[in-house]
């Protein structure tokens, strides 16, 4: 599935570029993130508990950052799995200056599988949009 969209951030492109790669800020902003530990250069191990409606599940996996082009773009790869399914995604984040700060556009591919995808297919698009919105709101509120 393709995911794309954009979000305004009240930061300069340099600040936005930095905060979107700051593990402490990411850990606070990713919905349900329980821990994000550095395991290598630009590599992190993440544990999260996803809660959507009555569904809840623990996921564990890796986050990798690459293709650094400061301060305008980088790639984020996420790979996680849990009892209720798996998520795999890769997206390019592009930061451009905008009125009042910067705009972050994301464009990528996401794969969701397992029980959660088998029964929740019709809800994946709207649920992932909601989680991305939460993520950017929390990046702003810190």
User: How far apart are alpha carbons 75 and 114 in whole angstroms?
Assistant: 25
Comparing CB distances to other proteins, the nearer of 99 and 126 is: 126
Q: Does 133 participate in binding other proteins (rule CB under 8 A)?
A: yes
Q: Does 66 participate in binding other proteins (rule CB under 8 A)?
A: no
Q: Does 117 participate in binding other proteins (rule CB under 8 A)?
A: no
**Start-to-end Cα distance in the chain:** 29
Q: Does 142 participate in binding other proteins (rule CB under 8 A)?
A: no
Q: Does 108 participate in binding other proteins (rule CB under 8 A)?
A: no
10 C-beta neighbours (distance < 10 Å), count: 11
Would you state the structure tokens that stand for residue 6, as one six-digit string?
Answer: 């954009």
Comparing CB distances to other proteins, the nearer of 57 and 61 is: 57
The stretch near other proteins (CB under 8 A) out of 22-30, 86-94, 104-112, 123-131 is 123-131
Among 8, 18, 28, 52, binds other proteins (CB under 8 A): 52
User: How far apart are alpha carbons 38 and 34 in whole angstroms?
Assistant: 14
């Amino acid at each position: 599935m393709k995911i794309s969209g954009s979000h305004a951030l009240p930061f300069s492109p340099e600040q936005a570029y930095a905060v979107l790669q700051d593990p402490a800020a990411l850990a606070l902003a990713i919905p349900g993130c329980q821990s994000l530990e550095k395991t290598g250069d630009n590599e992190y191990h993440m544990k999260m508990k996803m809660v959507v409606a009555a569904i809840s599940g623990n996921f564990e996996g890796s986050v990798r950052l690459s293709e650094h082009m400061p301060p305008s773009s980088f790639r984020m790869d996420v790979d996680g799995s849990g009892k209720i399914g798996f998520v795999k995604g890769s997206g390019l984040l592009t930061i451009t200056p905008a009125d009042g700060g910067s705009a972050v556009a994301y464009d990528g591919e996401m794969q969701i599988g397992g029980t959660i995808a088998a029964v929740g297919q019709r809800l994946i698009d709207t649920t992932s949009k909601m989680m991305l919105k939460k993520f950017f709101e929390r990046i702003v509120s810190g």
